[in-house]
Amino acid sequence: MTDLVPPHGGTLKDLVVDETRAQKLKSEATQMPDWDLTERQLWDVELLLNGAFSPLEGFLGKEGYNKVVKDARLADGTVWPMPITLDVTDEFVSNNLLEEASRVALRSPEGLVIAILTITDIWRPDIEWEAKNVLGTTSTDHPTVHKLLHETNPVYVGGTLEGLEHPTHHTFQEHRYRPQETRRLFTKRGWDRVVGFQTRNPMHRVHCALASRAARETEANLLIHPVVGETKPGDVDHFTRTRCYKAVLDRFNPQTTELALLPLAMRMAGPREALWHAIIRQNYGCSHFPIGRDHAGCSDDDGKDFYGPYEAQEYVGRFEDELDIEIVRFEEHVYSEKKQGYVPKSEAEEGATFKYISGTQLREMLKSGEKIPGWFSYPEVLEQLRERYPSRQEQGFTVFFTGLPSSGKSTIANIVNAKLLEHGSRPVTLLDGDIVRKNLSSELGFSKHDRDLNIRRIGFVASEITKNRGIALCANIAPYQETRRQVRDLIEEVGGFILVHVDTPVEVCKKRDRKGLYEKAEEGIIDNFTGVNDPFEAPENPEVRLDTTETTPEQAANRVLLHLQSEGFIEEFQNA
């Protein structure tokens, strides 16, 4: 069988060893130091092992790394734009006395040995230099710069890999192909020209238009090849996206189109990334690679793009002669009202205003239940997205009551609980401070450490309830701003978070205190009592602030319910 498109660097490197060697390595691995691969490293190892990163045979050594960062070339001069490196801690190197020729067992999060690394180099990289050269910026607004500067270990270890087995995936197995498998498929079907279409978005109309245009103009078959590893933070998760791809596949001719999922960890590196993507698709056996507007780009916190719209196309052009995959360049496409479809901007009617919906806008529109216009996407895609981003009335949410002891948190939360149960739209769980301390945190006291741990546990439980579209009501003192923020971040990922500050003045709380705890604290009988001898950091921007001095518990609860109603979390409420 001859390869129709030669793999980058000449041969496709499948780094998984044969069964006998694998058995031998497996038993030797018990004597080797273990490195637990981070998520990013695991994605990289998978593509190193299966040949998608050919001609790489492992993690870059120092010389290769320097040359890749500086010139986008490997030590032997072959084009390769992305530093593929293994970052480890100082302790790992020193505790295991690592040096050249040491071997390390690389493990998956489940503890499986995936590959053995034989070390060639150990060095401390200049991360800022790497960021500047590869990403063109050192701004931590760039997700990969942020990762490099804040989440990357200080030591790089280079070396060759011997894979014990290819990592497996348990989802969408019918669309998982390694480079050897797509190549085999293309040969079997007689596909000698294949466009490999990159995307990290659900395929909306513009993506489908571009993919089919690329195939049509080059008279090639189409491999829809979306990234399902790491993409830009905030992107639609790949489970949902793959359901969208499967749904939209019906619009393509099954005789000429295939869907394959690419487990790549993107770097959002614009120009360098585009070149890398082209090389990877060449390894999968594609003959053509489309690059459109701002390929694999991202923007800073003010919305300013890090890369020019056509910078990726220009950059790849400099290396094109050395690739065996042809670049298909696309101008920015816009929706033309007149032509009722997507067209290159320069061909669109003059004076037309272009409509555009960003990923963030789309998610907001879905959550608020707003109608998404037909020019933007297809009903079958939107149906999948609606499932994932339900309107507020279908989302789960957490109401988090915070405040001094005896401020009224439990009393109000209990009434809200009763009203929501009466309403019956979703299951409700009340995580009251005392109940939680009894069931989840019985060993904890009231030091800052213990209080934070307690709140984080509650936050975790509430986030699970919220994720599964229930309602969690938490009533805890939760005195620390930072911990409340962490809980908010966790929960807002999966649903709504409503912080209610029960802001009853301490004098009133003291008067209401049935257990006489304030008195005991003032007499020094109890330590760490919030409001007396322990701090309470008042929230700056709670969604609801209640001073219960002059109100009844029912009125306070009603305020919370009205807020939930006005924000769309519950429908028109029968007032008490």
Closest to ligand ADP by CB, 87 vs 311, is 311
Closest to ligand ADP by CB, 235 vs 394, is 235
Closest to ligand ADP by CB, 183 vs 277, is 277
Task: By CB under 6 A, name the one of 194, 475, 544, 560 that touches ligand ADP.
Answer: 475
- 3-state DSSP helix/strand/coil percent for the chain, to nearest 5? 40, 15, 45
Q: CB 90 → ligand ADP: shortest distance, Å?
A: 34
Q: Which position among 85, 182, 199, 548 bears the catalytic label?
A: 199
Cα angle value 224/230/234 (rounded, 5°): 100
**How far apart (Å, rounded) are the C-alpha atoms in residues 383 and 346?**
32
Count how many Cα atoms sit within 13 Å of the Cα of residue 299 in the half-sphere of its side chain.
Answer: 11
Q: CB 332 → ligand ADP: shortest distance, Å?
A: 4
Q: Give the SS3 label for residue 162.
A: strand
Residue ranges in 320-339 that form contacts with ligand ADP under rule CB under 6 A: 330, 332-333
Count how many Cα atoms sit within 13 Å of the Cα of residue 167 in the half-sphere of its side chain.
Answer: 28
**How far apart (Å, rounded) are the C-alpha atoms in residues 542 and 400?**
10
Q: CB 382 → ligand ADP: shortest distance, Å?
A: 17
Number of residues that bind ligand ADP (CB under 6 A): 35
Task: By CB under 6 A, name the one of 55, 163, 396, 408 that touches ligand ADP.
Answer: 408
Q: CB 7 → ligand ADP: shortest distance, Å?
A: 22
Strand partners, 537: none
Q: Among the candidate windows 17-25, 400-408, 443-451, 460-468, which touches ligand ADP by CB under 6 A? A: 400-408
Q: CB 274 → ligand ADP: shortest distance, Å?
A: 7
The reply to whether 200 belongs to the active site is yes
Query: What Å distances lie between residue 405 and 218, 475, 521, CA to CA?
Result: 71, 10, 12
Report the residue closest to ligand ADP, judged by CB. Answer: 292
Closest to ligand ADP by CB, 8 vs 207, is 207
Task: By CB under 6 A, name the one of 11, 169, 552, 571 that touches ligand ADP.
Answer: 552
Per CB under 6 A, 384 contacts ligand ADP:
no
Non-local (6+) Cβ contacts of 543 within 8 A are 498, 499, 500, 563, 567
Task: By CB under 6 A, name the one of 144, 417, 483, 548 that touches ligand ADP.
Answer: 548
Q: Among the candidate windows 170-178, 195-203, 379-387, 536-544, which touches ligand ADP by CB under 6 A? A: 195-203
Which amino acid type is present at position 222? L
Strand partners, 453: none
Q: Among the candidate windows 26-34, 456-464, 545-553, 564-572, which touches ligand ADP by CB under 6 A? A: 545-553
Closest to ligand ADP by CB, 88 vs 291, is 291
Per CB under 6 A, 417 contacts ligand ADP:
no
- Mark 259-298 with x for binding to ligand ADP (rule: CB under 6 A) and - for no binding: -------------------------------xxxxxxx--
Q: How far apart are the first and last CA of the chain?
A: 77
**How far apart (Å, rounded) are the C-alpha atoms in residues 82 and 80?**
6
CA dihedral 28, 33, 38, 40 (to 10 degrees): -60
- Tokens, residue 220: 């090639």
Could you tell me which of 366, 46, 358, 463 has the C-alpha nearest to residue 230? 46
Per CB under 6 A, 405 contacts ligand ADP:
yes
Could you tell me which of 280, 227, 209 has the C-alpha nearest to residue 7? 280
Q: CB 294 → ligand ADP: shortest distance, Å?
A: 6
**How far apart (Å, rounded) are the C-alpha atoms in residues 138 and 144?**
10
Could you tell me which of 144, 137, 148, 125 has the C-alpha nearest to residue 66? 125
Per CB under 6 A, 411 contacts ligand ADP:
yes
- Mark 197-226 with x for binding to ligand ADP (rule: CB under 6 A) and - for no binding: -xxxx----xx--x----------------
Q: Greatest CA separation found in the chain?
A: 88
Q: CB 509 → ligand ADP: shortest distance, Å?
A: 8
Q: Which position among 38, 187, 201, 429 bears the catalytic label?
A: 201
Q: Give the SS3 label for residue 469.
A: coil
Cβ count within 10 A of residue 471:
28
Per CB under 6 A, 551 contacts ligand ADP:
yes
Residues constituting the chain: 576
Where on the chain is the footprint of ligand ADP (CB under 6 A)?
Answer: 198-201, 206-207, 210, 290-296, 330, 332-333, 403, 405-412, 475, 502, 512, 514, 548, 551-553, 556
* Active site (catalytic) residues: 199-201
